[in-house]
Chain A
């Protein structure tokens, strides 16, 4: 695997791709907040939100099911909320007897649980749409222009740049470990957890030192090009009429969603 597999951006020239990144970031946040605010069991609103997402997928040229297919990342966390299924409030709809436990699923619990999962699942899709249609450096710029402190956006920009370099280093380290441990798999596995942890810890320590030394060289390269403690960047973005129209249309959408959700 090469670390390019981390790239989430899909190049394109759709309407969605061309919306100003600041507008896209704000809209993504607004849609997710709206989504989280919808009450339990607001199925028509959830459905409408999903339809809108499918259309946006299509419009951005990603294909109808793009975000859907990538949206299952948040599902494992649903385990954390699974207990609400067995809420004693509401009427029992299903009762399962497992060994000595008597599990009762109530209608209230079912709706509550399903709503939590659906909210989360829709929110993930909205976020996926953002990163699939916006270059990550543009998202970082957007946050900078939205007054996120410069030190954070600068560090995030560095993180993004060196993420790929360091992940490649990790993959090389892991491959080297595999190559070595394969030869001695029989005897070494007896080394147990502590031995494995020590090997992994040494790898992390080694990576730390390499990264530390790399940051020295980067600092030199920055100095050589006139860095004096302040990072300067150009603002490559300008609002267009279409951006304002998008903002307006989305606000209306959010109002409609909230209204439908509360009918």
Chain B
């Protein structure tokens, strides 16, 4: 069963990897060590859950994936190594969606927010508009184009938040707690959306039912390390292991 020293090699490294992380180390200025050597790989169209207790380092890891935080180690997006010099390119390849949609949606209108990414990639106006329409279409929110962000429900905000990164046509989506704070119906809509989106994604969540339903592969983090990386069904059945890492069987 999953042990930190020998993660189950379900999906071995290959050249077709869309995201590859090797030996990532990071400590905060106050001395707190957040990541103690994290390694994993995602292939194209992989949808992977990232679970673990609060403080395990999930959010810190996510902030590394498009260079907002920069620790020691190697991160490659579709074979391109993340460095200080190629941040703009990397950021358009990695769509990072934050937990609180009120932080993600910082523009007054939906249109401006979804257009923010493409505009800051330097795309021409016609292309920006086309991408906004396509991204809103992808999350079934086309009718909301001209709405004011503060008029949206939490579920609507979450979907628009995903559209704000889809408009950048990323290689991979990184989502932080997408189902938090949603009522059952909004949660169901979101799960369907995540299932249907044809894109690789790494989803950090405490929603174990969501993990079980949506993801065949799960990465478990605790105390800055990956303690398991394998088939969701197996991990979910090991109640003792889940309990050790502050998790619960769904």
Contact = CB atoms under 8 A, between A and B. Distances in A.
Interface of A: 3-4, 135-137, 140, 157-158, 160-162, 164-165, 214, 217-218, 220-228, 232-234, 236
A161 B107 contact: yes
Given A165-B102, A220-B63, A221-B98, A228 B109 contact: no
A203 to B, nearest CB: 20
A217 B98 CA distance: 8
18 contacts: A3-B150, A157-B108, A217-B100, A218-B103, A218-B106, A222-B106, A222-B116, A223-B91, A224-B66, A224-B68, A224-B98, A225-B120, A225-B164, A226-B121, A228-B88, A233-B112, A234-B119, A234-B129
B67 to A, nearest CB: 8
Given A137-B108, A228-B120, 16 more contacts: A135-B109, A137-B109, A137-B148, A161-B150, A162-B106, A214-B102, A214-B103, A224-B91, A224-B165, A225-B116, A225-B168, A226-B88, A226-B92, A226-B116, A226-B120, A227-B120
Contacts of A223: 68, 91
A234 B115 contact: yes
A226 B131 CA distance: 15
Nearest to A233: B112
B128 interface: yes
Contacts, number: 84
B75 interface: no
B109 to A, nearest CB: 5
Contacts of A232: 119-120
A4 B104 contact: no
List 9 A-B pairs, minimum CB-CB distance, nearest first. Answer: A226-B120, A137-B108, A164-B150, A225-B117, A224-B96, A217-B103, A232-B119, A218-B106, A221-B104
Interface in B66-117: 66, 68, 88, 91-92, 94, 96, 98, 100, 102-109, 111-112, 115-117
Q: Is the interface of B mostly helix, strand, loop or mixed?
A: helix
A227 B91 CA distance: 10
A135 B98 contact: no
A223 B64 CA distance: 12
A235 to B, nearest CB: 9
Contacts of B200: none
Contact of B149 (A3, A140, A161, A224): A161
Nearest to B92: A226
Interface of B: 63, 66, 68, 88, 91-92, 94, 96, 98, 100, 102-109, 111-112, 115-117, 119-121, 125, 128-129, 148-151, 164-165, 168
A220 B108 contact: no
A190 B36 CA distance: 54
A162 B102 CA distance: 8
Nearest to B165: A225
Nearest to A223: B68
A220 B107 contact: no
A227 B115 CA distance: 12
A137 B147 CA distance: 11
Nearest to A136: B108
Contact of A165 (B94, B112, B150): B150
Contact of A226 (B63, B111, B117): B117
A166 to B, nearest CB: 10
Contacts of A227: 116, 120
Given A161-B108, A225-B165, A226-B120, A220 B98 contact: yes
A218 B68 CA distance: 12
A165 B129 CA distance: 28
A40 B111 CA distance: 47
A33 to B, nearest CB: 28
A4 B151 contact: yes
Nearest to A160: B108
Contacts of B116: 222, 225-227
Contacts of B129: 234
Contacts of A4: 150-151
